[in-house]
């Protein structure tokens, strides 16, 4: 009986950890999407569409295919860092494109 109880508690604990990691991923990705939503230019709309599709796909793949919980959080963290770098790069690119356009016209 004790062994079954331990197995049940272990399963519940793993499910709780997974739900916290899913929550962490969703919060990080929503923060990135909010950063992207500040961009108003035509180029940024394509960037937002591409990155939001990429976020959705990677979130699905990461949460479904990663069975190791520690590895899942590690994948999610690396993905968030790389997406933050991408959004910063697009932000700089859009800023300099708009600055260049304002200087020409």
**Taking the model in full, what pTM does it have?**
0.30
The whole-number pLDDT of residue 76 equals 58
Top pLDDT among 100 and 30 is at: 30
State pLDDT tens for residues 47-104.
555 556 566 555 555 555 544 445 555 555 566 666 666 666 655 655 655 555 555 5
Q: Which of 44, 45, 77 is nearest to 58 (CA)?
A: 77
State pLDDT tens for residues 63-74.
555 444 455 555
Q: Which of 75, 66, 70, 71 is nearest to 25 (CA)?
A: 75
- Total Cβ atoms within 10 A of residue 90: 20
How many structural domains compose the chain? 1
Domain, as residue range, for 82: 2-104
The whole-number pLDDT of residue 69 equals 47
């Amino acid at each position: 009986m004790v062994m079954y109880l331990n197995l049940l508690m272990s399963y519940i604990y793993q499910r709780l950890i997974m739900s916290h990691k899913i929550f962490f991923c969703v919060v990080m990705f929503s923060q990135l999407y909010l950063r992207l939503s500040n961009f108003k230019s035509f180029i940024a709309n394509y960037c937002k569409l591409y990155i939001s599709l990429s976020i959705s796909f990677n979130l699905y793949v990461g949460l479904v295919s990663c069975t190791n919980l520690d590895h899942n959080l590690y994948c999610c963290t690396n993905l968030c860092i790389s997406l933050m770098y991408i959004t910063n790069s697009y932000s700089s690119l859009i800023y300099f494109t708009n600055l260049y356009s304002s200087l020409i016209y």
